[in-house]
Chains A and B, each alone.
Chain A
């Protein structure tokens, strides 16, 4: 466990030490706050717009952190950093789980910072305190980092370094629409188990409707279960992979 946390710690520390991350968070807050200026252009829908922009930008921020894994793992494998680490008493599975946890923790921290900033802005602009349904919508987005990261780790194992980030981004994009495929034959069988459905974390379309804490918890559990599948498969592939 200590080895896993050491790998995870190095991952999140590396990202959270970057000043550009905080600069981007401030940019996200500015963009969220700027929605209040759209009152005339949206005919009084600026409140809805601010909510939607906050959920959109939080999703994008988390997706970017997740995609950073697809740069990091192939780079470490390519440059031999992974091989150096694996000479120590560290298994390949532990290495992947460490990378996965580090990325998830980073996404959770950044997602929470963005959400907190949004709630402060929302209170300052509209004078409304914390709305539970909005909090749950943001928490679901943050929880979506769990299966997203698992997908990124899996793709880092099976795809060539050059195309991994692009393919991961496309896969994440389409993973929000897999429930439409789940109606058909074979897809129905693999839905949820092999075929991820990130739309389960998507309450953006009805952020004023309370998802319920049980739903939020169940969605996070599903994310964890899917991650077990994806990481086990990644580990199996990594086991047979030659590294420098």
Chain B
């Protein structure tokens, strides 16, 4: 064999080994950068999956425009078209969101299935998306028959955790209501109060855990006041009010109605209950305005 042929074969062998090793490294790196890559359809379309999903998305919108409503007759076709879009582009947030919304009435299970696939995705964008778990919870709570409150609460909680400390009020309220309903409490106010107490107890006491609900104390006070007004004499509500007022004693809260009172007040302006006064001069009981009493000149303690 000629020397040049041998040289050619040696070069090829080295290139095959080096190329194989580098390709495997690159493939792994690509999968770690785009986790959803492995979920993309294996249909060989020259790497144009994303563009194909865009085209199918526009066709889907056209198709949806031709429908009066989504019902038993056409839901399979809608699901099929959505499946095709998501197979080609598993990160297509808008298609997942709008598809699930459009299917929520006719096929809530299928809608939640689409959403749960996207929620479980390791894709950096979908991983942070709170709208998808919120929608899944919303469908399970409002469209699924019978409503699945426990599962809905799980999704709402996920939405709260993904909100990076700035959740929308409607997400918080949905979570609290779903959690309360999951515990078998039918009344919306009592359900809200029950969940808020659960979250609040995490932050108080020895555990001192953090809660995903912002302004938990203020929310709890408002919910307890509303529950007390709507369910006067309810033993559970009364027990909660007592517990909350005892814990928040230093916040000058009326132990009867949980409304706050001002310095110098001896009785609650809302319910007339006797309250523990504060901000008074120890000698003349005048309201203190600074370090010394403006009435008798005694130094404030």
A-to-B contact residues, CB < 8 Å: 38, 41-45, 48-49, 52-53, 55-56, 59, 172-174, 176-177, 179-180, 182, 189-194, 197-200, 202-212, 215, 218-219, 221-222, 225-226, 228-229, 232-233, 235-236, 239
Contacts and interface: CB of A to CB of B under 8 A. Distances in A.
Contacts of B91: 205-206
B22 A43 contact: no
A229 B46 contact: no
A218 B26 contact: yes
Contacts of A194: 16
5 contacts: A42-B57, A52-B50, A229-B15, A229-B19, A232-B12
Contacts of A221: 22
B231 to A, nearest CB: 46
Contact of A177 (B44, B54, B58, B123): B44
Contacts of B9: 236
B124 to A, nearest CB: 7
Given A177-B42, A222-B19, 12 more contacts: A52-B51, A174-B44, A191-B23, A192-B20, A198-B47, A204-B47, A205-B40, A206-B33, A206-B37, A219-B26, A228-B15, A232-B15
Given A174-B44, A193-B16, A209-B33, A42 B24 contact: no
Contacts of B67: none
Interface in B282-298: none
List 3 tightest A-B contacts by C-beta distance, closest first.
Answer: A192-B23, A193-B16, A193-B20
Interface string B30-72: 1001101100101011111111001001100110000000000
B148 to A, nearest CB: 29
Interface string B211-232: 0000000000000000000000
A225 B125 CA distance: 34
A211 B12 CA distance: 29
A189 B27 CA distance: 14
Given A193-B23, A229-B16, A232-B8, A43 B46 contact: no
A2 to B, nearest CB: 21
B21 interface: yes
A208 B124 CA distance: 11
Nearest to A38: B58
Interface in B105-131: 123-125
B104 interface: no
A56 B48 contact: yes
B5 interface: yes
Contacts of B42: 177, 180
Contacts of B37: 205-206
B8 A215 contact: no
Given A43-B61, A52-B50, A56-B48, A206 B18 contact: no
